[in-house]
Amino acid sequence: MLPPNTPIALPPLRILLVDDQEATRQVLVAQLHAAGHAVEQADSAESALTLFRQHAPDLVLLDVEMPGHDGYWVASQLRASEAGGWTPIIFLSSLDQDHNLWQAIESGGDDYLVKPVSGTVLQAKLRAMQRLRRMQNRLIELSDELRVANEQLTRISHEDALTGLPNRRGFDLRLQQEILSAQRDQTPLTLVLCDIDFFKGYNDTLGHVEGDACLQQLGQLLRSLCRRPRDYPARYGGEEFALILPGTPRSGAMTFARALLRTLELKAIPHPCSSIAKHLTLSGGITTCVPDKTSSAEGLLRRADEALYAAKSRGRNCFFS
């Protein structure tokens, strides 16, 4: 997944050079320009942060001693920011005590060079930083790829492949959320379970390919009847569909059911072996409640299923609530 860690030509860098001494900056700028890099210069801690925000450099060369805030402060400010969290920082200082190096690394620096620094040493350190930077960039790319793949996986795992509607997994999740939200707002929540009548016979006479096409058509139809943004039609299983209708009282749910049966009647999808009609019909169970602390998805589903069973017993092609 990571690219081979082979030596690479060092591409030109955009470097932010922070040093209060103009003479020091001039020497370093000459070295860096000679190596092809572009340089922005800051002469104080504050201007360093401003220029960093403006230019988002590839790398920072940072002096320690400056009037006002010092280089350690700059490094810790950059590390605390989103943009500067991982930008390579090399300290350049004439302070040569171990504790100076220690503090530089502690404050967020990646390396520490004692001035004066030869052009070759500086180039070598830049190259090492560039290699680390390459790995960081690849890791950032990989985590982006992972995030996208994860989103796709989540979407697919909540979707029914045949109808494109949410599947049982998506439905279960959404129902939990809608119960909580209806509990909080004390608004009615309706759950509808639909089951195609005599669908086994439909498949047996017309074949499964026709059966699948019929399920797709019904999926489309349910989707088109769901007018409100939070209405949620799903394929619950086989030839069963479930709908969550938030904010819908029992009367609204019955209106929805009548519209559904009427639309199916008008569509008149031929059903050769239905014993109650010439066209495809379905039966449905409806349950509506304003959920309280004791309400559960299982309870709602059980009630909708009982109502569906009652609709079947009453002759099908109807809804029971």
CA distance linking residue 295 with residue 319, whole number of Å: 23
Please tell me whether residue 196 binds ligand GH3 under the rule CB under 6 A: yes
- Contacts of 73-78 with C-beta under 8 Å, sequence gap 24+, read 73/45, 73/107, 74/18, 74/45, 74/48, 74/49, 75/104, 75/107, 75/108, 75/109, 76/107, 76/108, 77/49, 78/49, 78/52, 78/108
If binding means CB under 6 A, how many residues of this protein chain bind ligand GH3? Answer: 17
CA distance linking residue 153 with residue 169, whole number of Å: 13
Backbone torsions φ then ψ of 239, nearest 5 degrees: -110, 30
Q: Which residues of 209-225 are buried (b: 16+ CB within 10 A; e: fewer)?
A: eebeebbeebbebbeee
Contact pick of 197, 241, 256, 308 for ligand GH3 (by CB under 6 A): 197
* Span interacting with Mg ion, options 32-40, 171-179, 191-199, 287-295, rule CB under 5 A: 191-199
Contact pick of 16, 17, 18, 20 for Mg ion (by CB under 5 A): 20
The number of beta carbons lying within 10 Å of the beta carbon of residue 40 is 17
Please tell me whether residue 312 binds ligand GH3 under the rule CB under 6 A: yes
Please tell me whether residue 200 binds ligand GH3 under the rule CB under 6 A: yes
Q: Which does 44 bind (CB under 5 to 8 A by kind): Mg ion, ligand GH3, none?
A: none
* Span interacting with Mg ion, options 25-33, 54-62, 224-232, 233-241, rule CB under 5 A: 233-241
List, by residue number, the catalytic residues.
239
Q: Which does 20 bind (CB under 5 to 8 A by kind): Mg ion, ligand GH3, none?
A: Mg ion
Token pair of 65 as six digits: 């001693």
Of residues 65 through 84, those in contact with ligand GH3 by CB under 6 A are none
Please tell me whether residue 195 binds ligand GH3 under the rule CB under 6 A: yes
Site string for ligand GH3, 212-251 (x = CB under 6 A): x--x----------------------xx------------
Q: List contacts with ligand GH3 (CB under 6 A).
A: 162, 195-201, 203, 208, 211-212, 215, 238-239, 312, 316
In the complex, the residues that contact Mg ion under the rule CB under 5 A are 20, 63, 65-66, 195-196, 199, 239-240
